[in-house]
Amino acid sequence: MRESAKTVDTNDMQANRCSAARRHYLTLACEGGLFVGGMQFLSIQLVLPALVIALGGSQALVGWLPSLCMLGLVLPPLVLAQRIDRMSRVKNAALCWGLIQRLPYLCTAVLLLLWGADYPELLLICVVLTPILSNLVGGIGYGLYWQLIRRLVAPSHTASMFSLRQFIGAVLSVALVGPIISAVLNGTSEHEVLPYAILHMCVFIMLMLSWLCLFLLDDRSAPNNSLTELAKSEESDIERCSWRTYLRMFRDQRNLRLAMLGHFFGNGFLIMMPFFSPYAVQKLDVGAELTGSFVQFFMLGAVVANAVGAWLGDRYGARILLLLAHGLMLVIGVGFCLAEDFWSFALLFMCNGMALTLQQTGLPTLGVELAAPNRVAAVVALLAVAHMPGLLLAGILAGALGTTDYLVPVVVTGACFLICAQSCYHLMHGRDVQK
């Protein structure tokens, strides 16, 4: 009787764990989907570059914009990684920093509504600085968020979870975000400030909905959480010294070194991507409101990529996703140089959405695959650091070479970077990346 009772209790515990795992999987996918969809209102790939040009921003600023927005995600994870890896719970800290990350969009919307008409120069400053400040704060919670995913989602299901969140974001963008962008920019064209305030408020509302999803998570009994044992164990001198830990990981893991090089050269797409949307708008001789249609085609491509990325990522790992993404980016760069009509650009933006979705699914999945359970934040930090010089170099080259009149210089330069990234990921050994 006692043995049968124990068996029943064990089965109940396993059933509860499976139920919790499914809930966490779906909750994180919904949270990420709302975040991805919300950010498309002011997408740094499509909407912001065209808006900056429309507001009188320089070509160099357009080239620097994606790199500046990404730089905030680099330094904070490196500094905080060791502390995050030792935390027994990360949900509350992720909630705190996630809320602060979302507030700049609300503040900008209020500032523009109250004083934007009186101070026109405020408009361009706010449009540029808001995503930069948000990402700077988001960089603090970057490691917390990935640690939360590592504890709540099994590594074998990470790729499909990221694909599902991208799919949800894509559906929201096609059905909601794209039409709203077009309606706002068309319906309020006589107002100089109002459309930008509305778009910032839409971003804030969607990001707050994603933030509320985090309350449904429970990391107290996370199945992948081995940090309790780590906290109780006596730390070695290497584990106490964060910089020695980083150096040891870099020295011992060949695949980590190749992944860092791949991340560095993978920024090549940022050299050419900021100019795609302004170039298409100028080539077709239309207004910035056309970016709403571009967002819809972009996210249709994301829907297609999610169906492919989920299956390929779970079955073969993140490396194949990155190889496909960078190969497609090379084709897109050449295509934009040759495109002449709306449907050519629409197809290219759809392929752009496919490539970026595969990359955005592959990069975080690769970070989880590379990391031991107690080294997630450290690996994420090292990969983020590999991004930093690549982002800076991409920004410098885009600002120096980029123009909305002629894409060949930035496409050729970006293609050289992407070919190097392809080589690095190709040299990695299979899916057993902790080598």
Q: Among candidates 199, 89, 206, 68, which has minimal Cα distance to 139? A: 68
User: What is the Cα–Cα distance from 367 to 24, expressed in whole angstroms?
Assistant: 19
* 245-288 pLDDT per residue, tens: 767 777 777 788 888 888 888 888 888 888 888 888 888 877 66
State the pTM of this model: 0.72
Sign of CA dihedral 93, 257, 393, 357: negative
* C-alpha pair distances (Å), 122 with each of 116, 125, 132, 307: 6, 5, 16, 42
Report how far residue 172's alpha carbon sits from residue 299's, in angstroms, rounded to the nearest whole number: 9
Dihedral sign (CA 180, 182, 29, 104): negative
Task: Fold for 30-218+240-427, please state it.
Answer: Growth Hormone; Chain: A; (1.20.1250)
pLDDT digits (tens, 9 = 90+) for 302-312: 888 877 877 78
**Per-domain boundaries in the chain:** 30-218+240-427
Cα 414 to Cα 418: distance, rounded to the nearest angstrom:
6
Per-residue pLDDT of the chain (435 residues; tens, 9 = 90+): 555 545 544 555 565 666 777 888 889 999 999 998 898 888 877 778 777 877 777 777 777 777 777 776 666 666 666 666 667 778 888 889 899 999 999 999 998 888 877 777 778 888 888 988 888 888 777 778 877 887 888 777 777 787 788 788 888 888 888 888 888 877 666 667 788 889 999 999 999 999 999 888 877 655 555 444 444 443 443 344 456 776 777 777 778 888 888 888 888 888 888 888 888 888 887 766 677 788 888 888 888 887 787 778 777 777 888 888 888 999 998 998 888 888 999 999 999 989 988 887 787 778 777 766 566 667 777 777 777 788 778 878 877 776 666 788 888 888 888 888 888 887 776 544 444
CA dist 404 and 417 (Å) reads: 21
